[in-house]
């Protein structure tokens, strides 16, 4: 499975927020923002902080994309 944060970036555009605004408001590290930008996995804690800041659900910011039906983990 791959992770897509395209929904998150769309919400930020709709709210006229920049990544640095999200980082400051949610109290997450720049390393986490960089991981999000690269489509890498971040901790549930980071996702929960973002959801609390944006007043949304995890499904509103993250999408799981199947890559191979035989893939494990």
Residue 25 sits in a domain whose CATH number is 1.10.260.40
Asked if residue 38 belongs to a domain, the reply is yes
**Within-domain flag for 73:** no
Size (the chain), residues: 73
Containing structural domain, residue 31: 2-65
* Residues of the chain predicted below pLDDT 70: 69-73
Q: How many domains in the chain?
A: 1
Q: What is residue 72's predicted lDDT score, i.e. its pLDDT?
A: 58
Tell whether 70 is covered by a domain.
no
Extended strands (E) in 1-73 = 2-4, 63-65
The pLDDT tens digits of the residues spanning 16-31 come to 999 999 999 999 999 9
Backbone angles phi, psi at 42, to 5 degrees: -125, 170
| Cβ neighbours for 62, distance < 8 A, ≥ 6 positions apart | 3, 4, 5, 7, 8, 47
Residues 42, 63: Cα–Cα separation, whole Å: 13
Supply the pTM of this predicted model.
0.87
The pLDDT of residue 25: 97
The conformation of residue 38, written as its DSSP 8-state character, comes to T
Residue with tokens 């929960």: 48
């Amino acid at each position: 499975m791959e992770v897509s944060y395209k929904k998150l970036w769309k919400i930020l555009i709709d709210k006229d927020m920049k990544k640095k605004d999200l980082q400051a408001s949610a109290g997450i590290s720049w390393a986490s923002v960089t991981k999000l930008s690269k489509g890498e996995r971040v901790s549930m804690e980071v996702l929960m902080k973002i959801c609390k800041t944006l007043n949304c659900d995890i499904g509103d910011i993250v999408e799981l994309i199947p890559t191979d039906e035989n893939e494990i983990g």
